[in-house]
Amino acid sequence: MNEHLLSMHDVTAEDVVRILDTAESFREVGTRVIKKVPALRGRTVVNLFYENSTRTRISFELAAKRLSADVINFASGGSSVSKGESLKDTALTLQAMGADAIVIRHSSSGSPYQLTKWVRGHVLNAGDGTHEHPTQALLDLYTMRERLGRLEGLRVAIVGDVLHSRVARSLSFGLVKMGADVTLVGPATLIPPDAPVWGVQVSHDVDEVLPKLDVCYLLRVQTERQRLEYFPSVREYARLFGLNRSRVGSLPEGSLIMHPGPMNRGVEIDSDVADLPQSVIEDQVTNGIAVRMALLYLLLGGRGESGEEVSGG
């Protein structure tokens, strides 16, 4: 593994397998009465969140705590950042306080890369702008592998605003790395025209794609005004691309419906559809903790190949 996890390009297919296997051994910890192992006792993990994110922050916090690390949550509101402190100065401060790992969420693409220039600790990208969200991709890969038994050859559609989605980028790069067959689906304005260079296919017709899928992965539709220049209306989006009750029937039996959350029920996904058994959205959340435990453990010096060492301590 690389020193940092900034992008899915930082991990090899072998790394992915190792991360998912390690996560699997950590899954068990979450089922114990005392949900804790001493693997990272005495290490300090900082959650540096410049963007609101309840689920990712809590997931990382739980992951670090279950490994017995000390966790500091540093959110931009109500901190030195709101007094105009630069990212660099904040990073140097955290460095001086002895952060072993910094988990960063930032609205500016590439911020985790800048951070690595200023700190010695390990940097984990918890979502940077419209760039990547590699831990989300890894927990999604984990969920797919767990439910379907493999990643190679899986037929996955990622539906929605791929252009602005860090989840779509990381997941596409990860799936292609693992030999899956990826189709990006959405209005032509929201799919990068050069996307086939990534090794994926592109479609603008969700009905044509759905019957051939193992996984239908829906992205959150951004409904902020500045996004709306890309398609005429939320209504038209839902009509053309939303996974509704009638469409879901064309998905093959045994296929999965996934979503990184938070969902816009009634837009990209109908409420009834989100609650179907084949929708594994809650599993994604649960698995997120185990995958983040694995990442912290592997990056902070765990060896990860031995289940005993991980869970036995």
Partner 1 sequence: MGSPKLLFRGARVVDPAGGRDEVADVLVRDGAVADVGGGLDAASAEIVECDGLVLAPGLVDMHTHLREPGFEQKETVETGTRAAAVGGYTAVAPMANTDPVADDASVIAEVRAAAARADLADVFPVGAITKGLEGEVLAEIGEMVEAGVRVFSDDGRCVPTARTLRNALTYARAFDDVVLADHCEDASLSTGQQMHEGISSYSLGLAGQPAAAEVSIVFRDIEMARLTGGRLHICHLSSARSVELVRRAKADGVRVSAEVTPHHLVFTDEDLRTYDTNLKVNPPLRSAEDREALREGLADGTIDAIATDHAPHAVEEKEAEFDRAPHGTIGLETALAVALTELVAPGLLDLSRALEALSCSPARLLGARDHGGPIAAGRPANLVLFDPEERWVVEPPFVSRSRNSAFMGRAMVGRVRHTVRHGMLMVSEGKATR
Query: Which residues are near partner 1 by CB under 8 A?
Result: 86-88, 106, 108-111, 113-114, 128-132, 163, 166, 169, 192, 194-195, 197-198
**Least Cβ distance, residue 77 to partner 1 (angstroms):** 17
Nearest CB to partner 1, comparing residues 50 and 142: 50
- Residue 107 beta carbon to partner 1: minimum distance, rounded to whole angstroms: 8
How buried is residue 307: exposed, middle or buried, by Cβ count under 10 Å (0-12/13-18/19+)? middle
Q: What is the DSSP letter of 190?
A: G
**Closest separation in Å from C-beta 118 to partner 1:** 8
Helical residues (DSSP H) of the chain, grouped into ranges: 13-27, 54-66, 87-96, 111-118, 134-148, 166-177, 206-209, 234-241, 245-248, 271-274, 281-299, 307-312
Residue 98, phi-psi category: left (phi > 0), alpha (psi -120 to 50), beta (remainder) = left
Q: CB-wise, 110 or 307, nearer to partner 1?
A: 110
| Least spacing, CB of residue 52 vs partner 1, in Å | 17
Instruction: Say if residues 256 and 305 touch (Cβ distance below 8 Å).
Output: no
Instruction: Note the residue count of the chain.
Output: 313
Q: What's the closest the beta carbon of residue 287 comes to partner 1, in angstroms?
A: 24
> Are the C-beta atoms of residues 156 and 37 closer than 8 Å to each other?
no
**The one-letter amino acid at 272:** D
Pick between residue 79 and residue 130 the one whose CB is nearest to partner 1.
130
Minimum distance from residue 141 beta carbon to partner 1 (Å):
19
Nearer of residues 196 and 301 to partner 1, judged by Cβ: 196
Q: How far is CA 84 from CA 33, 52, 89, 90, 159, in A?
A: 43, 18, 10, 10, 38
Around 182, how many Cα atoms within 13 Å sit in the side-chain half-sphere? 26
Of the pair 29, 182, the CB lying nearest partner 1 is at 182
Which CB, 129 or 307, lies closer to partner 1? 129
* Cβ closest to partner 1, residue 113 vs residue 230: 113
Q: Considering the complex, state which of residue 226 and residue 246 has its C-beta at the smaller distance from partner 1.
A: 226
Cβ atoms 100, 134 nearer than 8 A: no
Pick from 170, 169, 253, 161: nearest CA to 210 = 253
Taking the C-alpha atoms of residue 168 and residue 72, their distance in angstroms, rounded to an integer, is 29
> Nearest approach, Cβ of 59 to partner 1 (angstroms)?
21
Q: Are 110 and 128 in contact (CB under 8 A)?
A: yes
3-state SS assignment for residue 4: coil
Smallest separation, CB 166 to partner 1 (Å):
6
